[in-house]
Amino acid sequence: MYNWTNINLTYVYDGSFEGYLTTVFHIFETKQIPMYIKNENANIPFTCPIFHIETDTSKSYRVFQGILKISELTLYYTNNVFLSGFEDKETLLLKYLIDAFKYGAKVNHMLALDEVLKVQKINRNVTLEIQRLKGFIRFAEIIPDIFFAEIEPDNNITEILCEHFKRRFPTQNFIIQDRKRSLIGIYNKHEISIKENSSLDITHLSQNELHYQDMWKEFFKTITISERKNSRLQKQYMPKRYWKYIFETT
């Protein structure tokens, strides 16, 4: 279908999904596969020259529509892997998309292809973390009618979590901060905005929040049956790495 040429270049894009899809467009247009594809904020290898890809929304939209035409599942996998913390996700996704455009929707059943199997494994990791954090996030009122939560996820899922809580609490102002990525999601009862390279240091909670936290901790302590305590099972269902921001465990 394509006569690919491998070239000794590193393609660098702006880190956005649109920027990555623009890069994919350029690769399919030129039929040249670079040595590396890197986010401009990532560690960029100096083993080969750098070529910067400028984001073009019209090109990225064409790729987006092309993936969607293959199947919604293919687009879902592509988006989730892009949001993952997998180090070489751009190159993996390129291999997957080359397969997808070649074989169509059946590609997702072709687990003998290493890149397809890896994409599905990473997708499971991302979706599991999303499901966990939907339950493990703890919002705290910092001032009346503004709630704040902190997370340190393996994957870049703040916007997805904001969309979830927007649907769940449409009349509530809230902020979700991803400390690992210096990223903040803000919902103001109308829309969500994502702020990159930002951080908030919250040192005080509202009096109502302190009161409710004390009551919740007391309830949590009261219902605990010490003789039936099973720390191993607790960590299995609520991994310890999430405990940092769950106040009933502190």
The predicted model gives 128-156 an average pLDDT of 94
Ranking 83-87, 190-194, 238-242 by mean pLDDT, the lowest is: 238-242
* Beta-strand runs (E) in the chain: 5-6, 10-13, 32-33, 36-39, 50-52, 140-143, 146-151, 173-178, 183-187, 192-196
Q: Which residues pair with 150 in a beta bridge?
A: 177
Q: What is the pLDDT of residue 214?
A: 85
Contact 82, 19 (CB under 8 A): no
Ranking 3-7, 155-159, 182-186, 227-231 by mean pLDDT, the lowest is: 227-231
pLDDT top residue among 47 and 38 = 38
Q: What is the pLDDT of residue 33?
A: 96
Is residue 185 over pLDDT 60?
yes
What strands, in cross-sheet order, belong to the sheet with 10-13? 36-39, 10-13, 50-52
Q: Which residues pair with 143 in a beta bridge?
A: 146
Q: What is the pLDDT of residue 249?
A: 65
SS3 138: coil
